[in-house]
A and B are shown apart, each in its own frame.
Chain A
Amino acid sequence: MPKQVLVIEDEPNIIEAISFILSRDGWTVRTHSNGVTAVDTVLMRKPDVVILDVMLPGKSGYDILRELREMPETSALPILMLTARGQAKDRELAERAGVSHFMTKPFSNAEVLDAVRALVPPVGGAT
């Protein structure tokens, strides 16, 4: 059974690009574009890994990350953060909030794929 990735992002073109890359690698890709309902969606979908944008309508990615880390069922969930705000303090903020991996936009497709694979070993990879 393929592993599931949830992409929380509000730019339609970026959603499409990430979906294409991960689907081709065998991942089940779900997308969500609203910050306010993002946490509920994570709890409902129970993805294996989350790709999270920072500047989302309604709620910031940092806040979503903190909320997820406070809940037992998502406290260890692998979360890859992608942001167009590439300053050092943004990275710090994300790491303090408990991010699993942090990447700035624009990214190379291979890097995103590697990062996701590193966070969640694919089926049959390590076993």
Chain B
Amino acid sequence: MITLNVLIAVCLTYVAFLFAVAFVAERSALRGRVRWLKAPMVYTLSLSIYCTAWTFYGAVGSAARSGFEYLTIYLGPSLVMVGWWWVLRKLVRIGRSQRITSVADLISSRYGKSNLLAICVTVLAVVGTTPYIALQLQSVTLSFEVFAQPGVLSPEEGARSYTALWVAFGLATFTVIFGTRNLDANERHHGVVMAIAVEAVVKLAALMAVGIFVVWGLSGGAAQTLARIDASELGQWRMDGGRWAGLTLLSAAAFLCLPRMFQVLIVESDDEGHLRTASWAFPLYLMLMSLFVVPIAVVGLDLMPSGSNPDLFVLTVPLAMGQEGLAVLSFLGGFSSATSMVIVAAIALSTMVSNHIVMPIWLRFTGGGASVSGDVRHVVLLSRRLSIAGVVALGYVYYSLSGGGTALATIGLVSFVGLAQVLPAMLGGIFWRGATRTGAMGGLITGFAIWLYTLFLPSIGTGALPEAVMSQGPFGLGWLQPQALFGITGLDPLMHALLWSMALNVTVFVGLSLTSFPSPLERLQGAQFVNIFDHSGGPRSWAGGVAQTEDLMIMAQRILGAREAQALFEREARRQGARGTLPDPNPGFLETLEKELSGSVGAATAHAMVGQIVGGTSVSVEDLMAVADESAQLMEYSARLEAQSDELSRTARQVREANLKLTRLSVQKDAFLTQISHELRTPMTSIRAFSEILRDSPGLTAAEQSRYASIIHDEAIRLTRLLDDLLDLSVLENGQVNLNLRQGLLGQVLDRAAAAANDGGLTLRIRRDPRAEEIMLITDLDRLSQVFINLIANARKYCDATSPELTIEVREDAELLVIDFIDNGTGVGIEARDMIFEKFARVSDRQAGGAGLGLAISRQIMTRLGGEIAYLPGHAGAAFRVTLPRKLAMAAQ
């Protein structure tokens, strides 16, 4: 009987052995003796991390439940290795030339180094892989329990959790030690790869040993075993074609997209040539792994008591038969499967988390103090280690939360569907230049969201989604039921999720790619990825040189402008003495070009762009951060410039307005002077003409002499009045007027005004209501009288009725006094009403005595008196309304 302590000792010994293997491999790699490390067989064996504990234990369980369906999980990768080796070759080539470090890095690099996209893929990978890590912890824990308490299948939760915690801790430690020993730009881990290659051998050997024992030890040979299989119900279960095809496709997609598979397939790959070996050796490995699955399942179902967990037959069958040594070997096989998966997955995920999430944030917060390289190495290592611990811890948390009850195979397939969402963006990216970042992002998010909703959340079990949502859809919308989208029922949940997520993912990816435009960097990257074999071909270096120069030219034209770029290239070509206009892309030229470009786009961007085209160099996180910084600065500059430009145009507008105002004023002043000149010259003309007549005409009669003298007299008075008006208006306009406030009756003011205005003969009849005019006022009575005189005189001068008549109506309310002057003439035309209050404005049809200053002065006076004068529309004749306060407060002046 093997005790738990013995088992733990065996485990520790095995782990120590793995440490030793990894350590030796690492040392050899450091000393440069890497030839044996780079053997194609090591590469092939490292691919076996595809076979995790899920495969090791779960395949038998799956076979026991669903017959031959488990084969699809092996079929997919085999088909990829055999039929799609050219896809793999392209991926490996791109991975090497672009120094791709993870699946997130591949996607982000292809789509213009978009860190946002990298974060998306990283999150997807972490979410998709966490259950898978939990699964490994669960299998190791379960296998421990088999030895610890044989026959007891459900020990208390605490102890189980405790074991899982120790396993998680041990795995994290191992991964940290060998996954982050040094920081290789290529993210290659020779020690780890060697260790997982050894584990691959151990798990294959263990599974085959159990299989051989079952077939030849228990069943009595191959023929008997086959008979037994035929007899069991496993052999009779019919296959479901659609589900088989779906699962095969799914496992093929997962084989390419799983972070750990990408790590060993692409990142750790040293040599494209290894693919040739792997393309036949790996399917062979998978075939051997699957060879004894069905026999073990059939024998297990026969021998073990009903209700036994078929996932553990590999372990429990030998144990039940008393084969303890075999059981321990089998345990080690399962242990190897679990640990190798967790280690590689943790390395792959930590690279993504650290490069795409932790480092950008750290660089952002430390203000890009990344110039001291020692510092950065230290920080990167620390962030890697923390990420590894974090990833494993997440797996542990998921394990303890989910309780580890679900069948192993189910969790694995859920993960597969999630990670398969990367496939469209990946394949589209390397085969289709039209694929864009927007498309990739849209497709990924769409697929991821559908996967979460239709598969991941329901798979966690009750609680993640309410029962009502599961059965009736959210908000009672039946067509949104998680497992019957758009009313399509009858598919099993996995196929349903796979179908919808992939279909919509691809649709959105293609749709958005066709309708969006890639950035220049994205276009460059797209060309590099899609045409990887043209760019990195070995012997065509000279032709490649010209192609590069042309690419550089195209890029330089975009940034510098066509003429400048051509001039630069021609100048450089002349300097090199090259024939034609294209210089050789030698270091001197590249440096010059980079300097020219950095003037326009910033040094980091220029370096990145030239590096992209010349090839070989990839862009580091720090480069990217520097680019982002430059862009931010440019944006800030541009925002500031924009603000300044706004201010300038505002100022310009103000200046323009002020200028317009000045011009208008100047025009007004000219018009005013012209008017004054005219108004002064007219009476002066009469005065001069008649005074000359009086002087030069001796024979004038006395009547003539008297008449001419009185004309001179009248015109002199007119001249004086004009000057008085001008001065008056000027004083009123400048607000320098002193008001002489007195108390008086409105009626008396009107009497005086009527007398003064009508003194030239009573041609105008005035209708008044003396009782309404008995209103006591406090205001400047003389000024008010001046306004009344003006209005009455205007009526006298301009009223064109046969018997001119002016009606003066007075109304008062609490404060205000309203006096209307309405005559019975034809009034003032609408077009003239706005201008009659302007200086010198005369409605010029008729002979007018005044200079046209009367209403302008009246308006100024009424403003001073706290009231107003306005033309009153709605009357046949000319009508003016004077409004003023009854008591003008002294304080107003």
User: Which residues of A does B touch, CB under 8 Å?
Assistant: 10-14, 16-18, 20-21, 24, 33, 55, 57-58, 84-87, 104-110
By the criterion CB–CB under 8 Å, are A107 and B688 in contact?
yes
Q: Which residues of A contact B682 (CB under 8 A)?
A: 11, 14, 84, 105
User: Is B681 an interface position by the 8 A CB rule?
Assistant: yes
Instruction: Determine which of B674, B686, B688, B692 lies in contact with A11 in the assembled complex, contact meaning CB atoms within 8 Å.
Output: B686
CA gap between A105 and B678 in the complex, in Å: 9
Please, could you name 29 A-B residue pairs with CB atoms under 8 Å apart, sorted by A? A11-B686, A12-B847, A13-B686, A13-B711, A13-B715, A14-B686, A17-B685, A17-B689, A18-B689, A20-B693, A24-B697, A57-B845, A58-B845, A84-B677, A84-B682, A84-B685, A86-B677, A87-B677, A104-B681, A105-B681, A105-B685, A106-B681, A106-B685, A106-B687, A107-B688, A108-B692, A109-B689, A109-B692, A109-B696
Does B690 lie within 8 Å of A87, measured CB to CB? no
Report yes or no: A105 in contact with B684, Cβ–Cβ below 8 A.
yes
Q: Looking at the assembled complex, report how far the CB atom of A53 sits from the nearest CB atom of chain B, in whole angstroms.
A: 10
**Nearest-neighbor residue (CB-CB) of A15 within chain B:** B686
Contact code string B611-640 (vs A, CB < 8 Å = 1, else 0): 000000000000000000000000000000
Closest to B678 in A: A84
A14→B692 CA distance, assembly (Å): 13
Cβ A57 vs Cβ B693 within 8 A: no
B846 within 8 A of A: yes
Q: Is B844's CB within 8 Å of the partner chain A?
A: yes
For the complex formed, measure the closest distance between the CB of B550 and the CB atoms of chain A, giving whole angstroms. 69
The answer to whether residues A85 and B678 also contact, given A13-B686, A14-B689, A106-B687 and a CB cut-off of 8 A, is yes
Alpha-carbon distance between A58 and B848 when the two chains are bound, in angstroms: 13
Within 8 Å CB of A84, what residues of B? 677-679, 681-682, 685
How distant is the Cα of A86 from the Cα of B682 in the complex, in angstroms?
12
Closest chain B CB from A62 CB (angstroms): 14
Q: Which residues from chain A contact B685 at a C-beta distance below 8 Å?
A: 11, 14, 17, 84, 105-107
Besides the known contacts A13-B715, A57-B846, 8 further A-B residue pairs in the complex with CB atoms under 8 A apart = A14-B682, A33-B847, A57-B845, A87-B674, A105-B684, A106-B681, A106-B687, A109-B689
Complex CA–CA separation, A20 to B845 (angstroms): 27
The 4 closest A-B CB pairs, nearest first, are A17-B689, A84-B681, A13-B686, A105-B685
Residues of B contacting A11 in the complex (Cβ-Cβ under 8 angstroms): 682, 685-686
Known: A13-B715, A106-B681, A108-B688. A58 touches B844 (CB 8 A): yes
Contacting residues, chain A, for B845 (C-beta < 8 A): 57-58
Number of A-B contacts (CB under 8 A): 67
| Residues in B lying within 8 Å of A, measured CB to CB | 674, 677-679, 681-682, 684-690, 692-693, 696-697, 711, 715, 844-847
A109 near B847: Cβ-Cβ < 8 Å: no
Cα distance A16–B679 in the bound complex, in angstroms: 19
A10–B686 Cα distance when bound, in Å, is: 12
Known contacts A13-B715, A109-B696: A85-B674 contact under CB 8 Å: yes
- Tell me the bound Cα distance from A26 to B684 in angstroms: 26
Does A21 lie within 8 Å of B693, measured CB to CB?
Answer: yes
Of all chain A residues, the one with the shortest Cβ separation from B679 is A84
Instruction: Look across to chain A and name the residue whose beta carbon is closest to the beta carbon of B697.
Output: A24
Contacts of B674 in A (CB 8 A): 85, 87
**Min CB–CB distance A15 → chain B (angstroms):** 10
Closest residue on chain A to residue B844 by CB atoms: A57
> How far is B518's CA from A43's CA once the two chains are assembled, in angstroms?
82
Question: With A and B bound together, what is the CA distance between A52 and B692 in angstroms?
Answer: 21
> Closest residue to A84 on the B side, CB-wise?
B681
CB distance from A50 to the nearest CB of B (A): 18
The 8 Å CB contact of A106, one of B689, B693, B697, is B689
B841 to chain A, nearest CB (A): 14
Give chain B's interface secondary structure class.
Answer: helix
Whether the pair A85, B689 counts as a contact (CB closer than 8 A) is: no
- CA–CA, A14 and B683, complex, Å: 9
Q: Is the CB of A13 within 8 A of B690?
A: yes
Say whether, besides A57-B845, A84-B677, A106 and B711 are in contact (CB < 8 Å).
no
Query: Given the complex of chains A and B, what is the CA–CA distance between A21 and B687 in angstroms?
Result: 14
**Complex Cα spacing A127 to B710, Å:** 42
Residues of B within 8 A of A18 (CB): 689
Q: Give A53 to B234 CA distance when docked, in angstroms.
A: 126
Assuming the contacts A84-B682, A105-B684, A106-B681, asked whether A57 and B692 have C-beta atoms less than 8 A apart, the reply is no
B684 to chain A, nearest CB (A): 5
Whether B696 pairs with A85 at a CB distance below 8 angstroms is no
**Smallest Cβ-Cβ distance to B700: which chain A residue:** A20
Other-chain contact of B690, A17, A104, A108 (Cβ < 8 Å) = A17
Residue of A84, A87, A108, A110 with most partner-chain B CB within 10 A: A84
CB distance from B713 to the nearest CB of A (A): 11
CA distance A57 to B688 in the complex (A): 24
* Contact partner, B847, options A57, A85, A87, A110, Cβ 8 Å: A57
Complex alpha-carbon distance, A105 and B686, angstroms = 9
Provide the residues of chain B in CB contact with A105, threshold 8 Å: 681-682, 684-685
Q: How far is the CA of A58 from the CA of B847 in the complex (A)?
A: 10
Contact in complex: B689, A86 (CB < 8 Å): no
> A16 to B846, alpha carbons, bound, how many Å?
19
Which A residues touch B693, using CB under 8 A?
17, 20-21, 109
Closest residue of chain B to A12, judged by CB?
B847
Task: Give B714's nearest chain A residue, CB to CB.
Answer: A13
Known: A18-B689, A55-B678. A106 touches B684 (CB 8 A): yes
Q: Report Cα–Cα, A85/B672, bound state, in Å.
A: 12
Q: How far is the CA of A81 from the CA of B845 in the complex (A)?
A: 21
How far apart sit A76 and B682, CA to CA, in the bound complex (Å)? 29
* Chain B residue at minimum C-beta to C-beta distance from A87: B674
- Chain A residue with Cβ nearest B681: A84
Contact of B847 with A10 in the complex, beta carbons under 8 Å? yes
Chain B: minimal CB distance from A37 (Å): 12
In the bound complex, CA of A12 to CA of B848 (Å): 11
Residue on A nearest B689 in the bound complex, by CB: A17
In the complex, what distance in Å separates the CA atom of A114 from the CA atom of B846?
Answer: 32
Q: How far is the CB of B646 from chain A (nearest CB, A)?
A: 42
Instruction: Contacts A106-B687, A109-B692, A109-B693 given; indicate if A86 touches B844 (C-beta within 8 A).
Output: no
Question: How many angstroms between the C-alpha atoms of A85 and B676 in the bound complex?
Answer: 10
Q: Which partner residue on chain A sits nearest B686 by CB separation?
A: A13
Chain A residue, CB-CB nearest to B718: A13
Smallest distance from the beta carbon of B689 to chain A beta carbons, Å?
A: 4
Residues of A within 8 A of B684 (CB): 105-106
Which B residues are CB-close (under 8 A) to A14? 682, 685-686, 689
Which chain A residues lie closer than 8 Å to B689 at the CB level?
13-14, 17-18, 21, 106-107, 109
Give the residues in chain A near B711, CB-CB below 8 Å.
Answer: 13, 16
- Please give me the residue from chain B that is nearest to A10 by CB atom: B847
Q: How far apart sit A14 and B685, CA to CA, in the bound complex (Å)?
A: 7
Please measure, in the bound complex, the distance between the C-alpha atom of A81 and the C-alpha atom of B679, giving whole angstroms: 18
Q: Give chain A residues whose Cβ lies under 8 Å from the Cβ of B679.
A: 84
* Residues of A contacting B715 in the complex (Cβ-Cβ under 8 angstroms): 13
* Residue among B682, B685, B692 with max Cβ neighbours from chain A (10 Å): B685
Which residue from chain B places its CB closest to the CB of A36 in the assembled complex? B845
Q: Chain A's nearest CB lies how many Å from the CB of B852?
A: 12
A35–B532 alpha-carbon span in the complex (Å): 92
In Å, the complex CA distance between A85 and B845 comes to: 19
For the complex, give the distance between the alpha carbons of A11 and B711 in Å: 12
Write the chain A residue with the least CB distance to B847: A10
- CA of A108 to CA of B682 in the docked complex: distance in angstroms? 14
